[in-house]
């Protein structure tokens, strides 16, 4: 054990002192923040141009409402985490910035001539687009086939037509109520929405009282489970492939022979796996600490679920043992990186399966498919963790079964890796194929 610890310590020190690791730790959050920042910046930058929007209001009643809405200040900003936001607020359609409404009259002109002229202006970039409101839209017996037509070259821009749709239809509704002599303030009051709070189930406490059900945070349902799963993936990916390279380097520089003269292949493998595990746990704890700090500092206490931490560590260790064994075996079996890369592809596929399956599990965590894939040992560490982070958590028997299967698989992988290590480390030349690898394992 002491020898394995010496190997683990050397591997740990070697990995955490690499520029790759230090830069990698900083790079991931920087990239996440930078990508959000860039998206926001790009959106703002894209909105700085003045959107000149021509309005042909053939009702003569809606233009003023559009002009008023265009001149109105920005609505209250809401986010999916705002617990006080009403459905209407959450459904808010953001007003495009820098809107300039250009009224266009068709009096005495042919509509086609007007639309042709406006189309030319759009092509010449002097107009962003134009909207034609037909004269009969306000009438409550307006035909189903009547449309308000919005013309533009920027068909991929959904902000302007969404906003126009909302503003124009609100005014049409208001006008129809008015025509029907219905009190608008009354309809506003009557149609006021109430927030729907999603809660966990109520339970009876030991003293017989009913414990109030806690409200489930909107982010809890996807951000926390996905975040934890991706963090586990990141922790494995930042350490196991590095070890593969290290083993190939040791093999190519014949250090392996010196090491095997001092320790057994099993001790060496155990040390290396321990090294990977230590680095992965350290990495994950750094990010978790950062996430918890972020949650606390932004007042989102509900996002912090410390009871998941032991599960995270257990599943992280399982993932490290399984994928670490695979990567170390590949390193031991190959004599150059090219061979190793081709052998890595199947294992990368197994690593990516949970990422592809995550959206399905998020939408239906207790479906048969979700249960089955989360019990596949190579996917369990990621997907069972994902399910554990969701509400409601999976039944105890599923968690227990997944742990047994994963731990068993991890032990099997470590054993097989030990066999491959014993033979592969001293082999040079062509990488073995699958039957040869199986022969090494059975030897």
Partner 1 sequence: MDAIELRDVTKQFGQVVAVNALTLDVPEGSIYGFIGPNGSGKTTTIRMIMNLLVPDSGSIRVFGQSPGSAIRDVVGYLPEERGLYKRMTARQVLRYYGQLKGRTTNEVDAVVAEWVGPLQVGDWLDKKVQALSKGMSQKIQFISTIVSRPKLLILDEPFSGLDPVNADAVRSAVLELRRRGTSIVFSTHDMAVAEVLCDRIFMIFQGQKVLDGSLEAIQARYGQDTIRVRTAAGPAALQGLAGIEAVTDFGNYQDVRFSGDSQVLLGSLAARTVVRQFEITKPSLNDIFIRIAKPPASHAPAPTTGAAGFAGVDR
What DSSP string describes 102-164?
EEE--TTS-HHHHHHHHHHHHHTTS-SEEEEE-TTSSSTT--TT---EEEES-TT--HHHHHH
Region binding partner 1 by CB under 8 A among candidate stretches 166-174, 220-228, 249-257, 274-282: 249-257
CB of 22 to partner 1, least distance (A): 14
8-state DSSP, 53: E
**CA dist., res. 108 & res. 392, Å (int):** 66
Q: Which residue's CB is nearer to partner 1, number 304 or number 441? A: 441
Exactly one of 263, 282, 362, 407 binds partner 1 (CB under 8 A); which one? 263
Task: In angstroms, give the least distance from the CB of 3 to partner 1.
Answer: 6
**Is residue 259 part of the contact set for partner 1 (CB under 8 A)?**
yes
Minimum Å distance from CB 339 to partner 1?
19
Three-state SS at 215: strand
Query: What does the block give as tokens for 225?
Result: 């489970």
Q: Which of 26, 201, 261, 396 binds partner 1 (CB under 8 A)?
A: 261
Q: Is residue 369 close enough to count as binding partner 1 by CB under 8 A? A: no
Nearest residue (CB) to partner 1, 109 versus 254 = 254
The interface with partner 1 within residues 46-75 (CB under 8 A) comprises: none
Q: Helix-strand-coil percent breakdown of the chain, rounded to 5?
A: 65, 5, 30
Q: How far is the CB of 10 from partner 1 (least distance, A)?
A: 5
At its nearest, how many Å lie between partner 1 and the CB of residue 265?
A: 10
Verify binding: residue 441, partner 1, rule CB under 8 A: no
Interaction residues for partner 1, span 409-428 (CB under 8 A): 426
Cis upstream peptide for 72 (omega within 30°): no
| CB-based contact 408:402 (threshold 8 Å) | no
| Contact status: 6 vs partner 1 (CB under 8 A) | yes
Q: Determine the interface stretch with partner 1 among 45-53, 129-137, 237-245, 261-269 (rule: CB under 8 A).
A: 261-269
355 binds partner 1, rule: CB under 8 A: no
Looking at the Cβ atoms of 142 and 260, the one nearer to partner 1 is 260
Q: Which two tokens stand for residue 433?
A: 């194929």
Cβ-based neighbours of 221, under 8 Å, separated by 6 or more: 198, 362, 390, 391
Greatest alpha-carbon pair distance for the chain in Å reads: 100
Asked if 250 is part of the footprint of partner 1 (rule: CB under 8 A), the reply reads yes
Cβ count within 10 A of residue 290: 13
> Which is closer to partner 1, CB of 91 or CB of 249?
249
Q: Which residues contact 76 (CB under 8 A, 6 or more apart)?
A: 89, 92
**Does residue number 19 form part of the binding site for partner 1 (CB under 8 A)?**
no
Q: Which is nearer to partner 1, 1 or 197 (CB)?
A: 1
Query: Where is 210: in which H helix or E strand?
Result: strand 210-211
Q: If binding is defined by CB under 8 A, does position 433 make contact with partner 1? A: no
Task: Name the site residues for partner 1 (rule: CB under 8 A).
Answer: 2-3, 6-7, 10, 14, 17, 250, 253-264, 426
């Amino acid at each position: 054990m002491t020898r394995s610890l010496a190997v683990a310590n050397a591997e740990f020190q070697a990995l955490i002192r690499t520029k790759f690791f230090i830069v990698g730790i900083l790079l991931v959050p920087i990239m996440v923040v930078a990508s959000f920042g860039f998206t926001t910046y790009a959106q703002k930058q894209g909105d700085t141009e003045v959107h000149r929007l021509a309005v042909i209001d053939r009702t003569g009643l809606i233009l003023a409402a559009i002009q008023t809405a265009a001149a109105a200040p920005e609505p209250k900003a809401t986010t999916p985490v705002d617990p006080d936001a009403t459905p209407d607020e959450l459904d808010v359609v953001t007003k495009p910035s820098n809107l300039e409404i250009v009224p266009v009259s068709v009096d005495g002109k042919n509509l086609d001539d007007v639309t042709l002229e406006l189309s030319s202006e759009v092509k010449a970039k002097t107009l962003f687009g134009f909207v034609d409101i037909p004269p009969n839209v306000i009438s409550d017996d307006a035909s189903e086939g009547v449309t308000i037509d919005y013309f533009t070259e920027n068909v991929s821009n959904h902000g302007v037509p969404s906003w126009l749709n909302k503003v124009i239809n609100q005014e049409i509704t208001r006008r129809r109520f008015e025509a029907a002599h219905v009190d608008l303030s009354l309809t506003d009051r009557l149609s006021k929405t109430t927030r729907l709070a999603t809660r966990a189930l109520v339970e009876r406490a030991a003293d017989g009282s009913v414990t109030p059900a806690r409200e489930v945070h909107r982010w809890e349902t996807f951000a926390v489970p996905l975040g934890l799963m991706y963090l586990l993936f990141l922790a494995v990916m930042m350490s196991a492939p590095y070890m593969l390279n290290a083993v190939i380097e040791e093999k190519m520089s014949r250090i392996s022979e010196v090491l095997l003269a001092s320790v057994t292949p099993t001790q060496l493998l155990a040390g290396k796996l321990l090294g990977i595990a230590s680095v992965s746990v350290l990495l994950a704890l750094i990010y978790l600490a950062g996430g918890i700090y972020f949650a606390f500092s932004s007042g989102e206490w509900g996002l912090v679920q410390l009871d998941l931490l032991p599960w995270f560590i257990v599943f992280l260790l399982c993932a490290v043992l399984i994928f670490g064994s695979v990567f170390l075996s590949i390193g031991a079996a190959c004599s150059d990186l090219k061979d190793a890369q081709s052998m890595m592809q199947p294992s990368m596929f197994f690593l990516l399966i949970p990422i592809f399956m995550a959206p399905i599990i998020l939408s239906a965590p207790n479906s048969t498919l979700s249960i089955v894939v989360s019990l596949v040992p190579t996917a369990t560490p990621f997907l069972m963790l994902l399910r554990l982070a969701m509400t409601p958590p999976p039944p105890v028997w599923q968690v227990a079964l997944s742990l047994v299967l994963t731990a068993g698989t991890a032990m099997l992988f470590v054993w097989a890796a030990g066999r491959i290590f014993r033979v592969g480390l001293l082999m040079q030349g062509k990488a073995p194929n699958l039957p040869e690898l199986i022969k090494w394992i059975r030897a």
